[in-house]
Amino acid sequence: MSTLIVTLPNEPADAAALYDYVLTPDGTLLGEQSRAPLALLPNGTKDDAEVVALVAAQHLSWHQVQLPKGTLNKGFFQEVGALRVRAVLEGLLEDRLLDDTQQLHFALEPAPLADAPIWVAVCDLVWLRAALQALELAGRPVSRIVPEFTPEALVDTLYVLGQPEDAQMVFAERGGIAVWPLSAATLALLNWPEGNTVVAEPAVVALAEQLFKRTVTLEPGAQRQLRAAASNWDLAQFELVNSNRARAWKRWSELLGSFAKAPRWRAARVALLATLVINVAGLNAWAWKEQAAIKAQRQAIDAVLTSTFPKVQVVVDAQVQMGKEVAALVQASGVPSSRDLDRMLGAFGSVAPAATLPTAIEFVAGEVRLKGLKLQAQDITSFSFKLKPLGYALSAEGDTVLMQQVSGL
């Protein structure tokens, strides 16, 4: 996915304001860099461009604070939690800031630790909102907001930026990040250590070497902007978090649309389609194999029935038909069956006390009703448990006990 990195200007409301931008096809390679009015900013690769807003060093102040225990919880950027954290930040930083805290925007470092000092970036809220709105109205909604520098990135490193007539030095100091004009007087005050790194943009590299009196590292501004966009910082927090979610949703929607339409994703779409087709074909083959196995089992059961009882020509339910044929065979042989009255009464008598005598008996094949029995619920449960292995089920209906043959002979 291509990324358009736009440096927010000092006056975003000015229609003639120029925007420094970098266009990268993958976040690491430099595709295009220039400066243009808002209306002439590139759209990036069709259908899949992400816009990252970069806040220059002079627009941010940095402060390190220790938050009270319990301030950072799982939902500290959500609704009431965000309001509480912002109120805590305002209280901690009120004496360090010149402007009214209500007019400022705060952003915490990524993944802040609850029990350690954390960095807080502060900038003008009105200016930031105006810059984001200008990009939104121009059809380039911002997905993330990143700082140009962070205190960690400036450890033992000083950057010289701008043009020779207004060159600036950016370096880390104990309280955050400092932006000083580049001159012999400021260098004398700074007293930059000889062993520390100095990095300069091409336009001011000669001036930096002249003033520092040593060779400096050359780095185009576009490389610095690429590095800033690749960081895990996102300044869209607190009052900007909802718009950030909307931008993220729009970004994902654009990504899905790009995946479905963009030519660059054609190979991935073909691979995904092939994977789906292979999986569907595999599932169908597996289902066919299982159905064939079930059908073979049924045919084997049917074959046992028809081979044992040749007179059965049509098989509907092999298990039921087998039971009926076996029962008929037993009845024809004169051998008592588990469906006969004497076998059923004998089974009941084997589990019931001798004094348990019914006043009436109703019998049909495989089912007998014993009336006039005064049995307790626990007796029925006990008798049923003992009769189950014999192939009988027992239930009570008032003073009548119903005994049914369910399996066996």
Q: Which DSSP string do the residues of 186-206 spell out, in sequence order?
A: HHHHH---TTSEEEE-GGGHH
Indicate whether 74 and 210 sit together in one domain.
no
The residue among 144, 318, 363, 309 whose CA lies nearest residue 243 is 144
Percent of the chain, pLDDT > 90? 37
The residue among 254, 15, 238 whose CA lies nearest residue 134 is 15
Q: Is residue 225 part of a domain?
A: no
Indicate whether 85 and 210 sit together in one domain.
no
Indicate whether 292 and 325 sit together in one domain.
yes
Beta strands in 56-133 (DSSP E): 61-65, 104-108, 118-124
Q: Is residue 269 part of a domain?
A: no
Opening angle at CA 61, ends 60 and 67, nearest 5: 120
Summary mean pLDDT of the chain: 84
Q: Is residue 181 part of a domain?
A: yes
Give me the CATH number covering residue 95: 3.30.420.380
Opening angle at CA 298, ends 294 and 299, nearest 5: 115
Indicate whether 44 and 161 sit together in one domain.
no
Indicate whether 134 and 77 sit together in one domain.
yes
What pLDDT does 262 receive?
67
Indicate whether 161 and 25 sit together in one domain.
no
Q: Is residue 11 part of a domain?
A: yes
| Residue 290 to residue 262: CA distance in whole angstroms | 41
Calculate helix-pair angle for 341-351, 377-387, nearest 10 degrees.
Answer: 120
230: left (phi over 0), alpha (psi -120 to 50) or beta: alpha
Indicate whether 121 and 41 sit together in one domain.
yes
Count structural domains, the chain.
Answer: 4
Domain span at residue 316 reads 275-335
Residue 236 has pLDDT above 50, yes or no: yes
Tokens of 387: 């009769």
Structure confidence at residue 409 as a pLDDT band (50, 70, 90): very low
Indicate whether 10 and 145 sit together in one domain.
yes
Q: Containing H/E element for 133?
A: helix 125-137
Indicate whether 159 and 23 sit together in one domain.
no
| DSSP state, residue 262 | -
| DSSP state, residue 366 | T
Indicate whether 47 and 100 sit together in one domain.
yes
Indicate whether 49 and 103 sit together in one domain.
yes
Q: What is the mean pLDDT of residues 44-71?
A: 83
Q: Tell me which long-range contacts 406-409 makes (C-beta under 8 A, separation of at least 24).
A: 408/338, 409/326, 409/327, 409/330, 409/337, 409/338
What pLDDT does 359 receive?
87
Tell me the pairing of strands 197-200 and 157-161.
parallel
Of 335, 365, 382, which marks where a domain is finished? 335
Tell me the pairing of strands 18-24 and 3-7.
antiparallel
Strand partners, 64: 119
Euclidean distance between the first and final Cα of the chain, in Å? 75
311: left (phi over 0), alpha (psi -120 to 50) or beta: alpha
Contacts of 372 (CB under 8 A, 6+ apart): 357, 358, 359, 360, 399, 400
Q: What is the pLDDT of residues 336-367, one digit of tens each?
A: 667 777 888 888 888 888 778 888 888 887 78
Opening angle at CA 339, ends 334 and 341, nearest 5: 85
Report residue 285: phi and psi, to 5°. Answer: -65, -40
What pLDDT does 287 receive?
92
Contact between 235 and 195 (Cβ < 8 Å)? no
Contact between 121 and 57 (Cβ < 8 Å)? no
Q: Is residue 167 part of a domain?
A: yes
| Residue 235 to residue 54: CA distance in whole angstroms | 10
| DSSP state, residue 264 | G
| Residue 390 to residue 409: CA distance in whole angstroms | 9
Q: Is residue 226 part of a domain?
A: no
Q: Is residue 377 part of a domain?
A: yes
Structure confidence at residue 387 as a pLDDT band (50, 70, 90): confident
Scan for tokens 């006056």, then name that residue.
11
Q: What is the pLDDT of residues 271-298, one digit of tens each?
A: 888 999 999 999 999 999 999 999 898 8
User: Any idea of the CA torsion for 160, 162, 167, 168, to the nearest 10 degrees?
Assistant: -50
Give me the CATH number covering residue 400: 3.30.1360
User: Length of the chain, please?
Assistant: 409
Indicate whether 156 and 302 sit together in one domain.
no
Any idea which of 28-37, 338-347, 388-397 has the lowest mean pLDDT? Answer: 338-347
Contact between 68 and 21 (Cβ < 8 Å)? no
| Residue 235 to residue 233: CA distance in whole angstroms | 7
Residue 255 has pLDDT above 70, yes or no: no
Tokens of 136: 């939104």
Tell me the pairing of strands 217-218 and 197-200.
parallel
| Residue 363 to residue 284: CA distance in whole angstroms | 52
Residue 208 has pLDDT above 90, yes or no: yes
What amino acid is encoded at 205 in this protein?
V
Q: Is residue 161 part of a domain?
A: yes
User: Half-sphere exposure of 56 toward its Cβ, with a 13 Å CA cutoff?
Assistant: 20
